[in-house]
Amino acid sequence: MTKYLDEYRDKKVCLELLEKVKEISTKPLRIMEVCGGHTMAIRKNGIQKLVGGNIKLISGPGCPVCVTAIEDIDKIVSLAGFKNVSICTFGDMMYVPGTSSSLSKISAAGGDVRIVYSVLDVLEFARSEKAKHFVFISIGFETTAPTEAAAIIQADRENLDNFSVIALNKTMPQALKAVLQDKNSKIDALICPGHVSAITGTDMYKSIVEDLGVSCCVSGFEPVDLLGSIYKLTELKEENKTALINAYKRAVCPEGNKKAQEIIYEVFEEGDTNWRGIGVIQKSGLKIKEKYKKFDAERRFDIKPEKSIETTECICGDILRGAKTPRDCALFKRVCTPTNPKGACMVSSEGTCSAWYKYGE
Amino acid sequence: MNSTDKITIAHGSGGKITNALIRDVFFKHLNNSILLEADDSAIIDVETKRLAFTTDSFVVKPIFFPGGDIGKIAACGTINDLAVSGASPKYITCGFIIEEGFSLTRLEKIVISLAGVVKKSGVKVVSGDIKVVGKGQTDGIFINTSGIGTMPQGKNFGVDKIKPGDKVIISGTVGDHEIAILSKRKGLEFESEIESDCAPLNKMLEEVVKSSSGVRFMRDPTRGGLATTLNEIVQNKNFGILIEEEKIPISKQVKGACELLGLDPLYLANEGKAIIIVSPEDEQKVLSVLKKNEYGKNAASIGEITTAHPNKVCLKTLLGITRIVDMLTAEQLPRIC
Amino acid sequence: MCWSIPGKIISICGNMAKVEISGVHKDVGLDLIDDSAIGEYVLVHAGYVIQKVNEESAKFTIDFFKKRGTKEL
């Protein structure tokens, strides 16, 4: 048995929780699962079908690949064209379409694109292949940002000259507020991202509960976690209460991982950033500080990307805000498919459209 | 040959150096009377009118991986394609494209692996070819194998023989091969005891077919994994397949690797497994035959043919809900999201 | 959005640890946590340990979900 995983996949516990949810649920309840990982876990297990007609589960903007602006993809494509530059990326980014190209197309054309499990692998390439410059695509939210920050600190310590990062990281709090304040979203409660919260802690959700009147439940990713969180949110709704609940205490505490937070803000500072389909959200991005500018690929290289053009019929933005579903999109399944994606929500391994296509509605 | 010897362009020139390579490496390990004739074509006799004929090319990276190498997989791949078609594999050919500078020692290791499979499976390599290309023009070594097998009389397999209610059996655990490969790939490495399941299945499947007249169809779930192969079977058909998540055999370590890298084992390549679709009456008989074989110890019945969702593969999840299992779109990549 | 998995630290060398996940071993960075120890369960993400598993809370949570008897989670 895999400890801290298998017991949260216990079929008997899941079915009992499900029964209890259906027993107490009488009021309509729109729950947004913020995190793409939660979307995938919910749909993979069919939870959205099982919870019954009153509860609607809506996918949110917590998919770092989905929300990477097309301009940023075009910058990466442009970077790949520099001589002796190797682009290193998590697998998630390989097929994301830019205006006219993608990393997979660059690789097919002979570009040096390498898939890595960790930014640590990129440091290893940089140490052993001095003739090349390794640019790492730094995506992710607060879970991944400290890993990328730690790698920059390490590179600085070692004086690694042939390593830099294109910083595309984003942070959750402002984006959540933007989504919840969108009149079209109509969200009653949030399932909050478990691993972001492991880093940030739970305090950042207090203002959402207190000022916006939206209940928040921090959840793990296994079926017991998700069903337990849905049960708690349903209970609150039925009692006309709002609250902040931490249902992932095995990984999340109120103050989070302070050391990881310090490392993030040693290297990065907050900035305004463009979320694909949503627009610019203030103080929602992480940019590399002046102190570490030599590791900032945008400052190391004179990047001149092509003019970015988004597919106008793509409604990923509305989907990411929870205002629409893939069913509302004229392109979904007809034109936009995993083999011919028009937007990031279809390409990303945890994008809403990808989940709907792969697992059904 | 010593350990520093490398392949040069001369090895592919067709002259004395090529002949010496063929003699000292290929003929040494693959010798049989037909091959040693070294004619432009192998002249062979076959006892049946109907033959199965297949070809495949192998470009695996890394070339040597836990449980095998490109030579082993090149032989197994073609032998298994013949075996799952119901044929008795008899003869294969091997074409090698080798990069200048490739180590001769490594080449011989690869040929020894290939020869080992060929011997175990009772097949003969009857013809071959070697080409050498310049540095950087290939990734070390590529191999193509083509194979012929005889089709037994009175046995009729085919996707058109599949009926609703038929059972779907997998001959063992899924995902081992691709995880073994990934464990050694730069940028993704991790330590495990997982080995490729690469193996010749012809003798096992011959036993299965001999034991049961209810075998409808067989296929090996290679690239794209179990999910993709099942989808290929139902494509444009008036039946679908329902499989059960809890019944799919996956080893603990493969599960662990999938958890680490964010991969779905249903889409991982296998090189020593067969999907067997069989009548419900013969399900237990086939399972029993498989489990007696070294390559079928973990065989399991995982689902059945249904008219409920034609043209689709569905999975009954842990929680009892049924959801679609689509074909793999592009390469499944490790993810952090 | 953040694929992370629990594993057990089986050895430590400087700022790297070997973590075991169902028999698979991976070397990961310890830069993001303090005072790690062999035998501890941790969460691994993108090659780093991002948090320790609170084993007491884990037990409490699963018991809660099994019983659903207590109001407080």
Give per-residue pLDDT as tens, A140-190.
Answer: 999 999 999 999 999 999 999 999 999 999 998 888 988 888 877 789 999
Q: Is the dihedral of CA C23, C29, C32, C34 positive or negative?
A: positive
Q: Which residue has the higher pLDDT, B320 or B249?
A: B249
pLDDT at C69: 47
Least confident of A247-261, B5-19, C54-68: C54-68
Q: Do B259 and C1 touch (CB under 8 A)?
A: no
DSSP strand pairing (B141-150 vs C41-45) = unpaired
Instruction: Report residue B4's pLDDT band, with 50, 70 and 90 as the boundaries.
Output: low
The domain ranges of chain C are: 5-67
For the stretch A62-94, pLDDT in tens is 888 888 999 999 999 999 989 999 999 998 888
Q: Closest by alpha carbon to A212, among A260, A157, A162, A174?
A: A174
pLDDT at A168: 96
Q: Are residues A150 and A245 in the same domain?
A: yes
Q: What is the rounded distance in angstroms from the CA atom of residue B285 to the CA atom of residue B262?
A: 36
Instruction: Report residue A53's pLDDT band, with 50, 70 and 90 as the boundaries.
Output: confident
Distance between C2 CA and the closest CA of chain B, angstroms: 5
For the stretch A324-360, pLDDT in tens is 899 999 999 899 988 788 887 887 777 889 888 888 7
Q: Which residue has the higher pLDDT, B136 or A233?
A: A233
- Nearest beta carbon to residue C24 from set B256, B336, B337: B256
- Nearest beta carbon to residue A249 from set C2, C46, C60: C60
pLDDT at B138: 87
Question: How is domain B9-150 classified at the architecture level of CATH?
Answer: 2-Layer Sandwich (3.30)
Contact list in C for residue B182 (CB cut-off 8 A) is: none
Instruction: Report residue C34's pLDDT band, with 50, 70 and 90 as the boundaries.
Output: very high
Q: What is the mean pLDDT of residues B77-98?
A: 96
The 3-class SS string of chain A reads: CCCCCHHHHCHHHHHHHHHHHHHHCCCCEEEEEEEHHHHHHHHHCCHHHHCCCCEEEEEEEECCCCCECHHHHHHHHHHHCCCCEEEEECHHHCCCCCCCCCHHHHHHCCCCEEECCCHHHHHHHHHHCCCCEEEEEECCCCCCHHHHHHHHHHHHHHCCCCEEEEECCECHHHHHHHHHCCCCCCCCEEEECHHHHHHHCCHHHHHHHHHHCCEEEECCCCHHHHHHHHHHHHHHHHCCCCCEEECCCCCCCCCCCHHHHHHHHHHEEEEEEEECCCEEEEEEEEEECHHHHHHEHHHHCCCCCCCCCCCCCCCHHHHHCCCCCHHHCCCECCCEECCECCCHHHHCCCCHHHHHHHHCC
Cα A31 to Cα A100, A192, A322: the distances in Å are 36, 10, 10
> Which chains touch A (3+ CB pairs under 8 A)?
B, C
CB contact at 8 A, C18 and C10:
yes
Residue where a domain stops, chosen among A311, A326, A344: A311
- % of residues, chain A, pLDDT over 90: 67
Distance between A172 CA and the closest CA of chain C, angstroms: 11
pLDDT at C3: 85
For the stretch A267-287, pLDDT in tens is 999 999 998 878 899 999 999
Instruction: Report residue B46's pLDDT band, with 50, 70 and 90 as the boundaries.
Output: confident
For the stretch B173-213, pLDDT in tens is 999 999 999 999 888 889 999 999 999 999 999 999 999 99
Say if C38 is an interface residue toward chain A (CB within 8 Å).
no
Complex-level ipTM: 0.92
Q: What is the rounded distance in angstroms from the CA atom of residue A192 to the CA atom of residue A176?
A: 10
CATH for B159-324, among 3.90.650.10, 3.40.50.300, 2.40.100.20, 3.40.50.2300?
A: 3.90.650.10
- % of residues, chain B, pLDDT over 90: 78
pLDDT at B101: 94
Q: Are residues A347 and A280 in the same domain?
A: no
Contacts by residues C50-53 (CB-CB < 8 Å, ≥ 24 positions apart): C50/A143, C50/A146, C50/A147, C50/A195, C50/A198, C50/A199, C50/A257, C50/A260, C50/C4, C51/A198, C51/A199, C51/A251, C51/A252, C51/A257, C51/A260, C53/A4, C53/A250, C53/A251, C53/C6
Instruction: Report residue B80's pLDDT band, with 50, 70 and 90 as the boundaries.
Output: very high
pLDDT at C41: 95
Q: Are residues A339 and A260 in the same domain?
A: no
Q: Are residues A338 and A230 in the same domain?
A: no
Half-sphere exposure of B328 (CA within 13 A, CB side): 21
> For residue C72, is pLDDT > 80?
no
Number of A to C CB contacts under 8 A, please give it. Answer: 137
Q: Do C23 and B252 touch (CB under 8 A)?
A: yes
pLDDT at A239: 96
Q: What is the pTM of this model?
A: 0.90
Q: What is the mean pLDDT of residues C58-62?
A: 80
Q: Are residues A274 and A338 in the same domain?
A: no
Considering its fold, how many domains does chain A have in total?
A: 2
Q: Closest by alpha carbon to A139, among A161, A171, A108?
A: A171
Fold of C5-67: SH3 type barrels. (2.30.30)
Substitution target from B260, B335, B337 for chain C, most C beta carbons within 10 A: B260
Instruction: Report residue A96's pLDDT band, with 50, 70 and 90 as the boundaries.
Output: confident
- Nearest beta carbon to residue A36 from set C1, C46, C73: C1
Q: Which residue has the higher pLDDT, A186 or B52?
A: B52
Apex A191 CA angle, A188 and A196, nearest 5: 135
Return the residue of A nearest to C35 by Cα.
A259
Say if C60 is an interface residue toward chain A (CB within 8 Å).
yes
Instruction: Report residue C68's pLDDT band, with 50, 70 and 90 as the boundaries.
Output: low
Q: Are residues A188 and A106 in the same domain?
A: yes
**Domain extent for A336:** 316-359
Say if B154 is an interface residue toward chain A (CB within 8 Å).
no
> For residue C70, is pLDDT > 70?
no
Query: Where in the sequence of chain B do the CATH 3.90.650.10 domains occur?
Result: 159-324
Q: What is the mean pLDDT of residues A285-303?
A: 96
**What mean pLDDT is reported for chain B?**
93
Query: Where in the sequence of chain B do the CATH 3.30.1330.10 domains occur?
Result: 9-150
Instruction: Report residue A256's pLDDT band, with 50, 70 and 90 as the boundaries.
Output: very high
